[in-house]
């Protein structure tokens, strides 16, 4: 079961997790406006999204965000249903709630 966590907890867990993968599930256009350092872009709206997710290591822990936390929550649910065994964290409020630096 995935967890919705706030920005502070998200950042702390991500920084301390040696098994972490940071996923940005926004569109390319949204990504181009700034992303969290170390993120991998996998557009949730891309029809190939489930196939791309299937290629990911299911033993890793995933920290997932989008613009507002809605799509990333759906992505967490999808990944949960696909048998991802690691931890799944959804950034509450998405990148809109992120007060840290963004890469461009």
Mind telling me the catalytic residues?
A: 66
Tokens matching residue 93: 């409020």
Question: Is the CB of residue 58 less than 8 Å from the CB of residue 83?
Answer: yes
**Beta-carbon contacts of residue 46 (< 8 Å; ≥ 6 apart):** 52
């Amino acid at each position: 079961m995935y967890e919705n966590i706030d920005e502070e907890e998200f950042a702390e867990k991500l920084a301390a997790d040696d098994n972490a993968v940071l996923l940005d599930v926004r569109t390319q256009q949204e990504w181009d406006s700034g992303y969290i350092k170390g993120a991998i872009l996998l557009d949730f709206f891309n029809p190939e999204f489930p196939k791309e997710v299937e290629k990911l290591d299911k033993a890793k822990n995933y920290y997932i965000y989008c613009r507002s936390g809605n799509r990333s929550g759906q992505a967490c649910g999808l990944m949960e249903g696909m048998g991802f065994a690691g931890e799944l964290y959804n950034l509450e409020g998405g990148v809109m709630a992120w007060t840290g630096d963004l890469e461009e």
